[in-house]
Amino acid sequence: MRRFKTSPKWVNTKRQNVLVKLFIESGNRCLLHHKNCSILEHYLHTQYRFKTYAKAIDVKCYNSNGEAIKDKYGNQLYFTAYKSERYTEAESKLVTEYELLSSEAVKYWINDDRLQKLAEWKAERKAIHSLSERNYKNGRFGSVSSVIFHESQPLYYVESVGMNALTCKPFVRVKLASSYTRLDVDLGDSLRKLSKNRKRKAIRYGKPLPSKINDIVSNRAFEAVSEYLK
């Protein structure tokens, strides 16, 4: 029986066109953007990964009164516990500029699809549960309450801040109110004044931005949403 190879889930025409354009611009260049570079070191890329391992430690034994437990010879008793320890692992390999950029782009697309699928699943679950709710005249779905609810909603909600793998520029993802539509708004150099540590925490862990930076991000998002709604 002949088997047909299926394409990865992230593949679509738009993304394939992006990869073609990326190959035309950087397919035969080293990581320093030299065309047909003959210096092998210019293709060397090192990637660092944080990993963990279980470290065995000896912990003293105590009874319920907080007293140390000893054996019949008066020696302190211990039991073995394990704590998680982190270490950095470096992996180096030779890659072209296109291989590096396309790999980062694919990772970004896969994660983007995962977030979109999760959002759709949550919306579907919410819609399914709402079908069993009763309609009250002045309740959640009453005509008056509905008007108040929709008028009190903001134009959009900020979901997360990320980094575009192709342009290496930060962006903010916003969700339009009462809609499944999401927009990725380019932030340009808005985060330039932030330290690398603060920027990493905002992008990777969703930590809040300083008030001045947050105002700039909010203005960018508001302008983009307003332009989209026009």
Q: Which pLDDT tens digit goes with each residue over 98-118?
A: 999 999 999 889 988 888 888
Given a contact cutoff of 8 angstroms between Cβ atoms, the answer to whether 53 and 87 are in contact is yes
Tell me the C-alpha distance between 10 and 139, whole Å.
42
Beta-bridged to residue 82, according to DSSP, are: 56
Q: Give residue limits of the domains in the chain.
A: 48-94, 97-128+140-229
The conformational region for residue 32 under phi > 0 = left, psi -120 to 50 = alpha, else beta, is: alpha
- What six digits make up the tokens of 118? 């999760």
Given a contact cutoff of 8 angstroms between Cβ atoms, the answer to whether 185 and 221 are in contact is yes
- Output Rg (C-alpha) for the chain, integer angstroms: 27
Return the pLDDT at 32.
Answer: 92
Kindly tell me the burial class for residue 37, based on how many C-beta atoms sit within 10 Å of its own C-beta (0-12, 13-18, 19 or more): middle
Tell me the C-alpha distance between 217 and 222, whole Å.
9
Per cent of the chain over pLDDT 70 is 79
Note the pLDDT tens digit of each residue in 38-92. Answer: 999 999 999 888 888 888 999 889 888 888 899 988 899 998 988 888 888 888 9
0.85 surpassed by pTM: no
